[in-house]
Structure 1
Amino acid sequence: MTNNNPAYDFTGQVALVTGAASGMGLAAARSFAENGAAVALLDRSADAVEQAAQTLIDAGYQAIGITCDVTDEAQVAKAVDQAVDTFGRLDMAFNAAGVQAPPADAADETAEDFDQVNAVNLRGVWAAQKHELGHMRKQGSGAIVNCSSLGGLVGLPERAAYHASKHGVVGLSKSAAVEYASKGIRINVVCPGVVETPMVADMLEGQAEAMAGIIQDQPIGRLGQAEEVAAAAVWLCSPAASFVLGAVLPVDGGYTTH
């Protein structure tokens, strides 16, 4: 796919991305860097996040890889502090870390699966946003984009726990957006559809028939690309979206239009 993304001037600014070792997080980290920002990449996979950061450094960009499990608030606090200590400030964040839950009848879902998917997808976003806001509040400026899903906008069979976590991200973000609007900080949400990432690849392999139906329901008729979601997140962090606040933006090939 040809990259026709607009260019931004993020020189002197700092971006932080969770789930940054692969997929949409990595695509966003790369885009922030290509547009001049110093980037802190956070991921629970130490080897993968260090490799991702080193790739950006080798390309001439400013980056640091930080091992961080977003389900552990103490790790999140330490990682955000490390990013600020390294680069001096925090201007933008894309909280992209997320996991799927195995499909299950709503009467049969386990508490363990519910707790795990909510620990990453909702509590992890809450923790990241909380500690990012702590630094941005001192600056009086900043932009945060939280990653929900088409699952934050609709319901689907056998997805109750996952969709609960993603609906939660929308409510969390909207409330914080209203609270911080007067403090110079913008908070928005992207809701990706079925995007070609490692997580979706695993789903496609294990649930080919169900996933084929979901792809068919995307009017655009194809999977999304990680770079397409990253482009939306980076735009929402940019001055081009200076009057966009509390928005919940589907990036789903039209899935949620019907």
Structure 2
Amino acid sequence: MTTPILKKVALMVLALLVCSEAQTHETNSEADTKPNHAGNPEAKSASNDHHAFVHPFVAHMGMPDEPGEVSLRLMSIQERNTGATTGGYGFHLEAGVIDSLGLHLRNDNVATHNRTEMMLQYAVLKSESGQNGLSLIGEVEFPTGATTDNQSKGLFGVSFAYSLSSVLNVDSVVHYSPDEKMVEWEIGFVSRLTENIFPVVEFRGESSKDMSITNSLFAWKFKLPNNNSIGIGYQIPTTAKRDYDSQLILQAEFNFN
């Protein structure tokens, strides 16, 4: 059932990569002909580093975006659970509000997650490039689907980001829910294979006194012009306690700067 879908995805990825490479060469040629107004070369280099990577696949970024930057990740999800296959969608909207402050709005699967999270992220330690640092986060999960509990839930925690040159980007988030007495965490590794191809590995989970769930995601993201991207990922639980058997995820990311 998934074979025709994967064939279509492969053809779409190939076509978009050709367009992306053409756009990259065109941009580089234009850059070579422009005069260098290098008032601050270090700041220019930092800006280039900031856009050298794509966002994680599902996970939060460890640091907020720059002021005025807005990105939207849309996901189409094919979920298998006890032999049945269902479809769904998710989204992750993030924006740089002011310097060092970011806003996130996220629901990983609207069909099965009856709460949407809204998170504020404030960078307390930040490198010049904005790629490395530590942030404090405050989050509210509010009902957006069928649930018997109509109360919003608050969480708080920290997030961390580290960039190893232009080869690897690491984003990690840990937060705690006093209402549920539960720790939720995730960590994402985005590596840079070429200028436009990014393998992604993510781990996420939640843990309380009575249960523990861990999921692993393996994905590819392909960078398009204007820092947009598409991707395909496969997510599976790695613990006996699970919410599903597997998820095939197609993603499109749009950036508005």
State the TM bucket, normalised to the shorter chain: 0.3 to 0.5
Q: TM-score, normalised on structure 2?
A: 0.32
Would you tell me which structure has more strand in proportion to its own residues?
2
- Greater Rg over alpha carbons, structure: 2
TM-score, length of structure 1 as denominator length? 0.32
